[in-house]
Amino acid sequence: MDYANSFALVLPEIVLALSGLLLLLVAAWGGDKAARLVSIAAAVALGGAFALAAVAVCSGAGGLDTIAFAGQFRADAFAGLAKLMIYAASGAALIVAPRFFERAGAMRAEFPVLVLFATLGMSIMVSAADLMTLYIGLELNSLAAYVLAAILRDDERSSEAGLKYFVLGGLASGILLFGMSLIYGFTGTTNFAGIAVAVSDGLSPGQLFGLTFVLAGLAFKISAAPFHMWTPDVYEGAPTPVTMFFASAPKVAAIVLLARVSLEAFGTQDDAWRQIVIFAALLSIVIGALGAIGQQNVKRLLAYSSINNVGFILIGLAAGTQAGASAMMVYLAIYVVMTIGSFVAVLLMRDANGNQVENVSDLAGLSTTRPVLAWCLLALMFSLAGIPPLFGFWGKFVVFQAVVEADLLALAAIGIAASVIGAFYYIKIVKIMFFDEAGDTVRGAGDTPHWSLLAICALLVSPLGYLLIGPLGNLADMAAASLAVAF
Amino acid sequence: MGGFPILSVMLLVPLLGAIACLFLDAKPARMVALLATLIDLALGIVLWANYDIGGAQWQFTESAGLFAGFDYALGIDGIALMLIMLSVFLMPICIGASWEAITKRVGEYMAAFLLMEVLMIGVFAAQDIFLFYIFFEAGLIPMYLIIGVWGGQNRIYAAYKFFLYTLLGSVLMLIAMLWMVNEAGTSSIPVLMEYDFAPEAQTWLWLAFFASFAVKMPMWPVHTWLPDAHVQAPTAGSVILAGVLLKLGGYGFIRFSLPMFPDASAEFGWLVWGLSMIAVVVTSLIALVQADMKKLIAYSSVAHMAIVTVGLFAFNVQGLEGAMMIMLGHGLVSGALFLCVGVIYDRLHTREIDRYGGLAINMPAYAALFMLFTMASVGLPGTSNFVGEFLALAGIYQVNSWVAFVCTTGIILGAAYMLYLYRRVVFGIQKNADAAAMPDLSMREYLLLGPIAAAVLWMGVYPESFLAPMRADIEILDTRLATAAPESDAQLAIGEGAPIEEDLSHGGAH
């Protein structure tokens, strides 16, 4: 367990940390004039980290060789795959941000730096093998995220979103810490492997309380019902590129972290956490679907949609099997693509003056005025609703397949029936775009980066995505197999 | 046909057409759509001509490991062949029916129709259960757009209702499919058709599939989406909905529910019979009082489909053959009836029966063709529906004479509402001046209705052409069902009766 080996394993994190610190200095001295340069440099750093993480994933790294710093950190394929999604989502946020903030006259050099630090935090989260690492990663990510939400300093809604996120996020961190202290108190260790040994023959009430509090704290981070209340407000208030970032990367990180805690630390006690996860999953699906129906604001609607999707991902976790963990990763990958695509489409909703519009009704008749944008959104919406032949269906398919294999038939039946409620508001957007009279509000003037991002996402969710089932499934299977748990 | 992947080509041609139509203006889009559907029709004829009757059960099989998780496996038996023929036959007619009626967003409209064709052929040709589900479910998207964009006044409500109703029906089927594949270890439909699931499991699986197919069929009481969807859809949309999409339910029963869960099918036979009996009587009576022509035909579809389900769940050869023949016949006849409504709707822009009258005077050719399809719908001997309805009712009569009795009233009620409709629209005095001024059929309309009329008569006079490819497959299904078939309620020795029924049923053929 020499340090050189440990450092080699955390190479992506080192790249992110060093470039973050360096760019912070550039930002401090260069001021906002250097914003574009810092953005590009941050994107390059993310690309480098992506390449480094990709190596670990492709080799299917797992087992003892991936443990760094005496059991604090695991750079296995499971973490690696999550990192790939996180880095890609962060990169997408960096690509769309300049245009948005320059329009508002608020492109600050801190933005890319904060994104880098948040990404570093997430990177640590997904690799956590110890409650301490978990908390450090989570807080690093959260602190950067609070500032990101409030980055439009002159905008009331942005400040409100930041404050709300901070207060409620602080509460959730408190709950999480309390749970962790209980677990530590009743098991005598903070290490996941150690906890797994300590709880292998049943949970004591103290450990059960600790587990419940930890799950509640993490449920807040992934905005699973009933801890979802902050999501619509923060998503609506935060600047759109930041919302896109929140809806994609931290979701991946927190869900993967939740899976690690549940499967690695408490893998032997799956009956204890399964009921909590099932409860949160079904409630999220229903609340996410019902809550979205009445929304007028696209970002609020997508916030509820993300709550709904988290429910389906949790169903994969509830299976508690290797197939379930693999299905979860597949769903997450598709979810990230759909989320980025939807938010890029929202960013392209600009009126004649180039200002952002955010109301669902502004999309009226989009198919006649801006057919390309409308067809891309149509594909994304049907994909989010899980209608074949769009790729979103495959995410739901693998998740439910895992649940059926785990013999949780009632969960599968209720979950899939509830997905029909969600279909209603997705097809409502299609209805507004295709059936309603043209309002001609949205001009959809965009630049190449936006359109190419949207095109990539639309192509991936189109039926062509099915050609990727094989590679994606293999990666997810390798990732799930690398978890330190005997399924 | 050697190794030529004809089924894939039949999927590819309309798909490419659909993509091309998206980028084309109105005129070229119409031409491309017509061309693509005609090529598919030609390929369909080649398919039928090369289908080896009495050969292997599954022909033209193709398989490619394109996707992990499920196979891209295609192949057809006689039943699928006939339904594919129905689809490719109706498709050019649908395009023709929309030639002048659709003026806005023609390219997208044609693309949606061509996509429908891809998905319909795919449903019938899929040999992998998940591939089937993808094609089956994907049909919601183009149909939702067709109803919602090009539909009538109340189109949005109808589109929502259609989408959510059918989606809710089919999601439970997906869970059942996942369970079956997990249990049997294969997603191949031919293998699953021979797999024996445990009887208790069959009950649940059957119910999950029933939820989906009963909505698609549609069976009473989950038929309420159909009148809305039919009335609001554009003419060609109604044709494809009545002609092919409703057959997905019957196809589902014959391909999945019956062979995969024979015990559960027998166990729930009473449920299907009961719902069908109610449907035949109730929806026929509802049809009798409709003031809207399309609604009337929509309700009549529900009644006809109920006789299909009765035939399917009669568990004998006559019943199954009859069900298939009604499906084919009804596909043609109801499609043609919707076209007939479309013809006068295009002229007067109303579907209200009272706004017409005395059309026989100014539109004699139209009146004659409409008469033919009305008679076919009633089930007059010599038309397609007679063969099917007679066989299906003969089939159920062997099992349960009461069900046969109630369902036969459907024929009488069917005659009542169809003739009543015909009298009010075509006969009588010309009370509306604008209706009296309508010109007779144009060349295009002759070309749409003529082929269907020919097919209806062909099917009525020589049904053997259509029964022959399906016979072997229906035998196999009948053998599969033999162990589970319910006992007959007949008091007489049925051994003597059966050959007579057999003779009668093919009476038209010899």
DSSP H or E segment with residue B75? strand B72-76
For residue B172, the chain A residue with the least C-alpha distance is: A413
pLDDT of residue B510: 44
By the 10 Å C-beta count (0-12 exposed, 13-18 middle, 19+ buried), B285 is classed as middle
> For the residues of B405-417, what is the DSSP string, one character each?
HHHHHHHHHHHHH
Q: Which phi and psi (to 5°) does residue B103 adopt?
A: -120, -20
For residue A416, the chain B residue with the least C-alpha distance is: B171
What is the rounded distance in angstroms from the CA atom of residue A96 to the CA atom of residue A50? 19
For residue B161, the chain A residue with the least C-alpha distance is: A424
Best CA proximity match to A406, nearest among B216, B182, B480, B222: B182
Longest dimension (CA), chain A: 67
Q: What is the pLDDT of residues A20-79, one digit of tens each?
A: 999 999 998 888 888 888 999 999 999 999 998 888 787 767 777 788 888 888 888 899
What is the rounded distance in angstroms from the CA atom of residue B406 to the CA atom of residue B386? 17
Token digits for A287? Answer: 């609340």
Provide the shortest C-alpha distance from residue A423 to chain B (in Å).
Answer: 8
Residue A202 has pLDDT above 90, yes or no: no
Residues linked to residue A359 through DSSP beta bridges, in sequence order: A297
Q: Contact at 8 Å (CB) between B76 and B124?
A: yes
B454 — pLDDT class (breaks 50, 70, 90) = very high
For residue B208, the chain A residue with the least C-alpha distance is: A413
What is the rounded distance in angstroms from the CA atom of residue B472 to the CA atom of residue B365? 40
A329 — pLDDT class (breaks 50, 70, 90) = very high
* Interchain contact, A419 vs B141, CB within 8 Å: no
Q: What is the pLDDT of residues A281-328, one digit of tens each?
A: 999 999 999 999 888 999 999 999 999 999 999 999 999 899 999 999
Residues linked to residue B72 through DSSP beta bridges, in sequence order: B64
Contact residues on chain B for A431, CB-CB shorter than 8 A: 148, 156, 159-160
Token digits for B206? Answer: 């059957």
Mutate to test the interface with A, among B103, B109, B132, B134 (most CBs of A within 10 A): B134
A148 — pLDDT class (breaks 50, 70, 90) = very high
What is the rounded distance in angstroms from the CA atom of residue B193 to the CA atom of residue B205? 13
Q: Is residue B179 within 8 angstroms of chain A, CB to CB?
A: yes
Please tell me which of A100-104, A127-131, B217-221, B488-492 the model is most confident about, judged by mean pLDDT.
A127-131
Q: Is residue B178 within 8 angstroms of chain A, CB to CB?
A: yes
Q: Which phi and psi (to 5°) does residue A68 adopt?
A: -115, 155
What interhelical angle do B129-138 and B106-125 show, nearest 10? 160
DSSP 8-state secondary structure symbol assigned to residue B158: H
Best CA proximity match to A39, nearest among A91, A103, A105, A106: A91
Supply the Cα-derived Rg of chain A in whole angstroms. 21
A→B contacts (Cβ < 8 Å), by residue, are 367-368, 382, 387-389, 393-394, 397-398, 400-401, 404-405, 409, 412-413, 416-417, 419-420, 423-424, 427, 430-431, 434-435, 466-467, 469-470, 473-474
pLDDT of residue B508: 44
What is the rounded distance in angstroms from the CA atom of residue A76 to the CA atom of residue B145? 46
pLDDT of residue A422: 86
What is the rounded distance in angstroms from the CA atom of residue A122 to the CA atom of residue B212? 43
What interhelical angle do A392-405 and B129-138 show, nearest 10? 140
What is the rounded distance in angstroms from the CA atom of residue A327 to the CA atom of residue A345? 27
Token digits for B402? Answer: 């009461």
Contact residues on chain A for B174, CB-CB shorter than 8 A: 397, 400, 416
* Interchain contact, A467 vs B66, CB within 8 Å: yes
Please count the CA atoms within 13 angstroms of the CA of B361 that sit on its side-chain side.
13
Mutate to test the interface with A, among B178, B183, B187, B203 (most CBs of A within 10 A): B178
Q: Contact at 8 Å (CB) between B96 and B34?
A: yes
B56 CB-near residues (< 8 Å, 6+ apart) = none
Helix/strand/coil for A407: coil
Name the residue among B68, B145, B172 with its Cβ closest to that of A469. B68
What interhelical angle do A322-347 and A392-405 show, nearest 10? 160
Token digits for A404? Answer: 């059926």
* Cα-based distances in Å from A117 to A18, A81, A235, B33: 10, 19, 20, 54
Stated pTM of the model? 0.91
What is the rounded distance in angstroms from the CA atom of residue A177 to the CA atom of residue A179? 5
pLDDT of residue B219: 87
A394 — pLDDT class (breaks 50, 70, 90) = very high
Q: Contact at 8 Å (CB) between B214 and B99?
A: no
Helix/strand/coil for B54: coil
A444 — pLDDT class (breaks 50, 70, 90) = low
What is the rounded distance in angstroms from the CA atom of residue A388 to the CA atom of residue A23? 44
Residue B501 has pLDDT above 50, yes or no: no
* Interchain contact, A368 vs B105, CB within 8 Å: yes
Cα B378 to the chain's mean position, in Å? 17
For residue A466, the chain B residue with the least C-alpha distance is: B67
Contact residues on chain A for B172, CB-CB shorter than 8 A: 413, 416-417
Best CA proximity match to A75, nearest among A6, A130, A14: A6
A171 CB-near residues (< 8 Å, 6+ apart) = A220
Best CA proximity match to B123, nearest among B79, B89, B186, B169: B79
In the chain, the amino acid numbered A184 is Y
Helix/strand/coil for B462: coil
Provide the shortest C-alpha distance from residue B112 to chain A (in Å).
Answer: 13
Contact residues on chain A for B29, CB-CB shorter than 8 A: none
* Cα-based distances in Å from A272 to A177, A269, A317, A320, B281: 20, 6, 13, 11, 54
Residue A89 has pLDDT above 50, yes or no: yes
* Other residues' Cβ atoms within 10 Å of the Cβ of residue A25: 10
Helix/strand/coil for B61: strand
* Interchain contact, A427 vs B160, CB within 8 Å: yes
Q: Which phi and psi (to 5°) does residue B188 adopt?
A: -80, 125
Name the residue among B141, B156, B175 with its Cβ closest to that of A431. B156
Token digits for A312? Answer: 């389906």
pLDDT of residue B430: 80
Residue B68 has pLDDT above 80, yes or no: no
In the chain, the amino acid numbered B272 is V
Best CA proximity match to A394, nearest among B170, B142, B18, B133: B133
Provide the shortest C-alpha distance from residue A245 to chain B (in Å).
Answer: 30
Residue B493 has pLDDT above 60, yes or no: no
What is the rounded distance in angstroms from the CA atom of residue B240 to the CA atom of residue B166? 16
Q: What is the pLDDT of residues A234-248, one digit of tens each?
A: 999 999 999 999 999
Contact residues on chain A for B175, CB-CB shorter than 8 A: 400, 404, 409, 412-413, 416
What is the rounded distance in angstroms from the CA atom of residue A396 to the CA atom of residue A405? 14
DSSP H or E segment with residue B85? helix B78-101
Residue B498 has pLDDT above 70, yes or no: no
Contact residues on chain A for B67, CB-CB shorter than 8 A: 466-467, 469-470
How many CB pairs below 8 A link A and B? 88
* Interchain contact, A387 vs B155, CB within 8 Å: no
Helix/strand/coil for A350: strand
pLDDT of residue A76: 87
What interhelical angle do B293-312 and B225-232 show, nearest 10? 140
In the chain, the amino acid numbered B290 is Q
Q: Is residue B165 within 8 angstroms of chain A, CB to CB?
A: no
pLDDT of residue B168: 87
Best CA proximity match to B397, nearest among B264, B278, B475, B504: B504
Residue A431 has pLDDT above 70, yes or no: yes
What is the rounded distance in angstroms from the CA atom of residue A392 to the CA atom of residue A385? 7
A260 CB-near residues (< 8 Å, 6+ apart) = A78, A126, A128, A129, A192, A483
What is the rounded distance in angstroms from the CA atom of residue A110 to the CA atom of residue B499? 88
A15 — pLDDT class (breaks 50, 70, 90) = very high
Helix/strand/coil for B60: strand
* Interchain contact, A435 vs B155, CB within 8 Å: yes
